[in-house]
Amino acid sequence: MDFRQHTASLDALASVACDALLVVVAGEKAERTLDTTLARLLADAVAHGDFEFKRGKTVLLHRPAGVKAARVVFAACGAATPKSLKAAFAAGFGQLKGGGSKHVALAIGGAGDIGAEQAEALVAAVGETTYVYRHTKPSAPAAGALERVTLLCGKAAAKAVSQGLARGHAVAAGVTLARELANRPGNHCTPTYLGEQAKKLGKEYGLKVEVLDRKAIEKLGMGSFLAVAQGSAEPPRFIVAQYHGAAKTQAPIVLVGKGITFDTGGISIKPAAEMDEMKFDMGGAASVLGTLRAVAELKPKLNLVVIVPTCENMPGGRAIKPGDVVKSMSGQTIEILNTDAEGRLILCDALTYAERFKPACVIDVATLTGACVIALGHHHTGLFTADDALAAQLLAASTASLDPAWRMPLDEEYEEALKSNFADMGNVGGRAGGAITAAMFLRKFTGKYRWAHLDIAGTAWKSGAAKGATGRPVPLLTHFVLSQAS
């Protein structure tokens, strides 16, 4: 998709050359900011009950008199916040989706000055609206005609808008990559496939990418990770990808993504209902690879390392059993009380491995606990860290990227639930506060650097009629990484 900005006045919209003109209106006063022709069309739609100044309302006009564009869409956004504007953009493009418009020009009336945030929200909305999964579905609808989107703005805003469009394009491409990886079924997106995609990304952007096999993982002493992998015929992979945009002496940001390409629960097997959605259990891996792609496109002056431990969790004859004790790369032993708490078992070894990079900070991302879904639902990602400054930076990134997160507690008292009579710790601590005790488990492996954990179990995918990966938290992570650039 080609995104551009064009300097144009709102009082000359009728003469803009395009296939479709999308006009987002922020409140009833927006009518006064439009040219005479567009203001008349808007007033007429309101007078006939075809349009209201309420968020989400839209109207599509075909070949309106006096307008050069063949189609005009009005979309109401209510308050002119980036969040409301994004919803209006999505609603407006929803009216044009699948149509014959190749070039859509977009203007915002009544919102005052626009800038990078609004431009980025536009690209995100277009990406979300036009995305269709096709890899294993030949009968999926054909791609729409849309090729180009132009955001009309004033001369003073042109530079900021161009920057926002560039950032939005990179983030949207990262989100799309994450969605494509997570949406693929488990028999397609295997650990081997994820490794291949990481190498492909490395080749495209000149990144250093290593994909370690079982023998190399064994040599590292990752007993916890390998314990999860041993029940599956699919070989595990340990992916390490590096982007260098600053001096080698600069400490990197490290992102660690959980890569369980299918999770049956192992011996502690899950109920059959909705188990198909466990192909999304590598959403953390998908999101950190998507973030890597976005960062590599934008080329900020920083260093970034992405680590992905990836395997399946299966109930085979060699699978770990409840009561087994395994030794992690850190040397700490773990009693397996529930084999369905496997994500933390692969992440803990990756978190220990991250120490060798002497990182500025480490953020792990995982579809880790159903308990987080119960706590926060499907809107906010759970954020866990004992570092107040790091929490503030991540929350700021979540707000700026319209990818919301909510900070959860990490009080020391929660650690009591992980005590074991037979190992240094158990891998679960009971149902109460399950998302917190999972984070407390991971924290035991992060004592040598600044660390935060993002539980995306409620936000990485949607169920029901809209079933599919969301690509979150690529926007949050990208904004956070960019905020660390020198």
Angle between helices 283-298 and 158-183 (to 10 degrees): 150
Q: Is the pTM here over 0.85, yes or no?
A: yes
Task: Return the pLDDT at 79.
Answer: 81
What number of other Cβ atoms are within 10 A of residue 347's Cβ? 29
Residue type, 158: A
291 token code pair: 């973030």
Task: Return the pLDDT at 69.
Answer: 94
The domain 183-483 is placed in CATH, from the list 3.40.630.10, 3.40.50.1980, 1.10.3470.10, 3.30.379.10, at 3.40.630.10
Which of 484, 386, 432, 475 lies closest to 179, judged by CA? 475
| All structural domains of the chain with their residue ranges | 2-130, 183-483
Interatomic CA distance for residues 91 and 98, integer angstroms: 14
Tokens 């808007």 belong to 42
Q: For each successive 10 residues of the chain (486 residues), what is the average pLDDT? A: 82 90 87 87 93 92 94 90 92 89 91 85 94 92 87 87 95 98 98 98 98 98 98 98 96 98 97 96 98 98 98 97 98 98 98 98 98 97 98 98 98 96 96 96 98 98 96 98 92
Which of 376, 354, 332 lies closest to 473, judged by CA? 376
Task: Return the pLDDT at 143.
Answer: 79
**What Å distances lie between residue 374 and 12, 104, 191, 193, 409, CA to CA?**
51, 41, 29, 32, 15
Spatial contact of 87 and 56, defined as CB atoms under 8 Å apart: yes
**What Å distances lie between residue 192 and 7, 44, 225, 310, CA to CA?**
48, 58, 16, 9
C-alpha distance across the termini of the chain, in Å: 30
- Return the CATH superfamily for domain 2-130: Leucine Aminopeptidase, subunit E, domain 1 (3.40.220.10)
Dihedrals phi, psi of 454, to nearest 5 degrees:
-115, 115
Q: Is the peptide bond before 271 cis (omega within 30 degrees of 0)?
A: no
Burial call 48-76: b when 16+ CB within 10 Å, e when fewer: eeebebebebbbbbeebeebebbbbbbbb
Catalytic residues: 270, 344
283 token code pair: 């959403």
